[in-house]
Chains A and B, each alone.
Chain A
């Protein structure tokens, strides 16, 4: 894992001290709210419906046990005993006091964390495949490159006042676990025909009011030129992005208006004339970062574990093994999914006790590593198969062993109108109502792989456009209504969902999902997932079922 050096630490300490003074000046009335707002946002501090919210960056979703324990300590000391993991793999604390914020940032700095660039029109927290370093299908460890981008983009003077916020996601696998097509830049590491490492560069993805999937503007960017090429993209965006209209300011609008080829031409022109050597990572620096992610000291183990197989005689464990245990690149190891989606609970929420339990398990069984998945779950990435039964037991004791990864109850929901000042409607209670309907694990398993994603407004933090069932909260004269979309997918062959029909009132949504599932179970052929059936049948049978009463 990457560790901050003396320069990083000094920089963070200075930043905390600076913010401490700025907070004091605000509380004393020496700064107005308009003057202060930008400053607090630059430190990840928002003002929401009930309190301040602190958004803490978790670069590429990677945490060690000390960091997770620190987050638990902060949530227990300064908040109401829990935190909320987001689709950007950040942690949000929803009950923060302004007067405590500098102390919290000081605590975070102790474990090499902060909340810088989790807001504002800059390059936000870099996300990456949460299976990095543990999956057999990656061309390289994407964390190395995500870390390089993190260092380059943090406090980058030229890119700290972009037309709008800017999000980058990195994967190195053909199966996309980082939703790279829905971000401003998606990077996919692969080996080209000559076996050389290269990036496929996708630009202009983004959800929100006008959703787009990213377009590939370069298939084989040699990895050594990553930073100079990113600089070229951001320069073109900085120059031509629509600063005049907040709804058109994201890079996706620029890419759409120039066309991907036109945009690529501008980028190439900028790139060819730039001094690449000044920007690209020197080999020594790349080697330094790479060393921080050196392969772990895995043991040589048999590929199958008798303890693991024997534990499957317990049907509850067997179900957990089917859905929450994923193959590891090293024989005898596994990735263990920690579901933050117990039916009836708030998706993504994690209590102090749960954070501590995961920290303990990471330390004892997973080489001190835990990961945040953008689908609002956690992962223990390096668990010996022999240890999985013990890990399962410990997770179960704190309500973290729900065997539902990828299933209908593994719902993404943004904070919505329960917390967020921008929301139109609530997202969490809708998720709770749906999850309760499918709480029986056997039922959820029978329905199979089905991603429901819910956003409380068109900003789409809940990724509703790429949900197999997407649910968007809208405001009809002040009442909560929900627009359903079907057929979205964030995977490698990503698609945006299609609108099912007129928006439904809140109390009809869970019932409508039930009807959609019934249609799927009736129509499905063989092993088809919901998405496959939908792609084959189209909207018609689903629409008919949900709106039958209306005719």
Chain B
């Protein structure tokens, strides 16, 4: 399963594709079962010049009663920095945040690999 993510252009916030919008909560992200649909959404996102920067697909796994990004880096993006409990999306709390906090998967982040490739 995949989700589509990027950073919002005007404030840099980590956002996720949801229908025709970009939302800050991972729990509201569209989850793509179908790789073709995910790739099509990514291709479309790359045309949304004034909305989102460098969109890319991430792998998603089930966790607790919800879902979480497979890569730890993507979970940090979805939660905020781990050194400051008072900052970032995790402050919202609730089940969806718990699912992210308890996820155990690990994988190299495509976001990082892409970034280094383009550098």
CB distance from A81 to the nearest CB of B (A): 10
> Provided the pairs A48-B12, A478-B106 are in contact, do residues A418 and B83 lie with their beta carbons within 8 angstroms?
yes
Tell me how far the C-beta of A31 lies from the nearest C-beta in chain B, rounded to whole angstroms.
9
Q: Identify the closest chain B residue to A477 (Cβ).
A: B106
Cβ–Cβ < 8 Å partners of A52 in chain B: 11-12
B44 at the interface (CB under 8 A from A): no
Chain B's nearest CB lies how many Å from the CB of A74?
Answer: 16
Give the contacts of A423-440 with B (CB-CB under 8 A).
423-424, 426, 428-429, 432
Asked if B102 is at the interface of the complex by the 8 Å CB criterion, the answer is no
Interface 0/1 of A451-477, CB less than 8 Å to B: 000000000000000000000000101
Which residues 32-85 of A have a CB within 8 angstroms of B? 32-33, 47-52, 80
The contact string, 1 if C-beta is below 8 Å from chain A, for chain B 84-98, is 100110000000000
Interface residues of A in 136-161 (CB under 8 A from B): none
In the complex, chain B residues 103-119 whose Cβ is within 8 Å of any chain A Cβ: 105-109, 111-112, 115-116, 119
- Nearest CB of chain B from residue A386's CB, rounded to whole Å: 38
Residue B36 lies at the interface, judged by CB distance under 8 Å to chain A: no
Flag whether A417 is at the interface (Cβ < 8 A). Answer: yes
Cβ-based interface call for A27 (8 A): yes
Nearest Cβ on chain A to B1's Cβ, whole angstroms: 17
Q: In the assembled complex, which residues on chain B have CB atoms less than 8 Å from the CB atom of A196?
A: none
* CB-CB under 8 A for A98 and B12, given A418-B82, A480-B72: yes
Q: Name the interface size band of chain B.
A: 20 to 34
A50 B77 Cβ-Cβ under 8 A: yes
With A32-B49, A478-B72 given, is the CB distance from A26 to B106 under 8 Å?
no
Tell me the bound Cα distance from A99 to B12 in angstroms: 10
Smallest Cβ distance from A325 to chain B, in angstroms?
Answer: 29
Q: Among the listed A50, A51, A477, which residue makes an inter-chain contact with B108, where contact means beta carbons less than 8 Å apart?
A: A477
- How far, in whole Å, are A113 and B119 apart by their CA atoms in the complex? 27
Interface string of A341-354 (1 = CB under 8 A from B): 00000100000000
Residues of B within 8 A of A531 (CB): none
Contact of B12 among A32, A51, A417, A428 (CB under 8 A): A51
Nearest to B116 among chain A residues (CB) is: A422
Minimum CB distance partner of B105 in chain A = A478
Per the bound structure, the CA–CA distance linking A15 and B80 in Å amounts to 33
CB B86 to nearest CB in A, in angstroms, measures 8
Q: How many A-B residue pairs have CB under 8 A?
A: 94
Q: How many residues of A contact B (CB 8 A)?
A: 37
One digit per residue, 1 when the CB lies within 8 angstroms of any chain A CB and 0 when it does not, for chain B 51-63 equals: 0011000000000
Establish whether residues B50 and A29, one from each chain, have CB atoms under 8 Å apart when the complex forms: yes
Verify if B25 is at the interface (C-beta below 8 Å from A): no
In whole angstroms, what is the CA distance A95 to B53 when docked? Answer: 16
Question: A540 in the interface, Cβ–Cβ < 8 Å?
Answer: no
Q: Which residues of A contact B115 (CB under 8 A)?
A: 421-422
A478 pairs with B50, CB closer than 8 A: no
Complex alpha-carbon distance, A480 and B73, angstroms? 10
A47 and B9 CA atoms in complex are apart in Å by: 9
- Check if A97 is an interface residue, CB within 8 A of chain B: yes
A-side contacts of B13, CB under 8 Å: 50-51
Known: A52-B12, A97-B10. A419 touches B50 (CB 8 A): no
Q: Across the two chains, which residue of chain B brings its CB closest to A415?
A: B81
Known: A27-B9, A417-B73. A50 touches B81 (CB 8 A): yes
Chain A residues with CB under 8 Å of B53's CB are 33, 47
Report whether A27 and B71 are in contact in the complex, using a CB–CB cutoff of 8 Å: no
Q: B112 contacts A33, CB within 8 Å?
A: no
Contact assessment for B14 and A50 in the assembled complex, using a CB-CB cutoff below 8 Å: yes
The reply to whether the CB of A7 lies closer than 8 angstroms to some CB of chain B is no
Q: How far is the CA of A52 from the CA of B9 in the complex (A)?
A: 9
Say yes or no: is A28 at the interface (Cβ < 8 Å to chain B): yes
Q: Which residues of A contact B101 (CB under 8 A)?
A: none
Q: Check A49–B14 contact: CB distance below 8 A.
A: yes
Answer yes or no: A396 CB below 8 A from chain B CBs.
Answer: no
Q: Write the nearest CB–CB distance from A412 to chain B, whole angstroms.
A: 15
- Shortest Cβ distance from A94 into B: residue: B81
In contact, A98 and B81 (Cβ under 8 angstroms): no
> Is B99's beta carbon under 8 Å from chain A?
no
In contact, A478 and B71 (Cβ under 8 angstroms): yes
Contacts of B27 in A (CB 8 A): none
Task: For B112, list chain A residues within 8 Å (CB).
Answer: 421-424
Cβ contacts under 8 Å, B39 to chain A: none
Question: A18 — which chain B residues lie within 8 A by C-beta?
Answer: none
**CB nearest neighbor in A for B53:** A33
Q: Any chain A CB within 8 A of the CB of B23?
A: no
Point out the residues of chain A lying under 8 angstroms from B14, CB to CB.
49-50
| A80 to B91 Cα, complex, angstroms | 14
In contact, B76 and A418 (Cβ under 8 angstroms)? yes
Task: Say yes or no: A47-B107 contact (C-beta < 8 A), given A33-B54, A418-B76, A429-B83.
Answer: no
Q: How far does the alpha carbon of A479 sit from the alpha carbon of B71 in the complex, in Å?
A: 8
Let me know if B12 and A50 touch, CB within 8 A: yes
Residue contact B12 to A479, C-beta cutoff 8 Å: no
Closest beta carbon of chain A to B5's beta carbon, Å: 11
Which of B12, B76, B80, B87 has the most chain A CB atoms closer than 10 A to its own CB? B12
A-B contact pairs, 28 of them (CB 8 A): A26-B9, A27-B9, A27-B50, A33-B54, A47-B7, A47-B12, A49-B73, A50-B14, A50-B80, A50-B81, A51-B12, A52-B12, A95-B87, A97-B11, A98-B12, A417-B72, A418-B76, A418-B82, A419-B81, A421-B115, A424-B112, A426-B76, A426-B83, A429-B83, A475-B108, A478-B73, A479-B72, A479-B106
Please report B residues at the A interface, Cβ cutoff 8 Å.
7, 9-14, 49-50, 53-54, 70-73, 76-77, 80-84, 87-88, 105-109, 111-112, 115-116, 119
Known contacts A28-B50, A426-B82; 7 additional CB pairs below 8 A are A26-B9, A50-B81, A97-B11, A422-B115, A426-B83, A429-B83, A478-B109
Closest 8 CB pairs of A and B: A478-B106, A418-B81, A51-B12, A97-B11, A52-B12, A478-B107, A428-B83, A29-B50
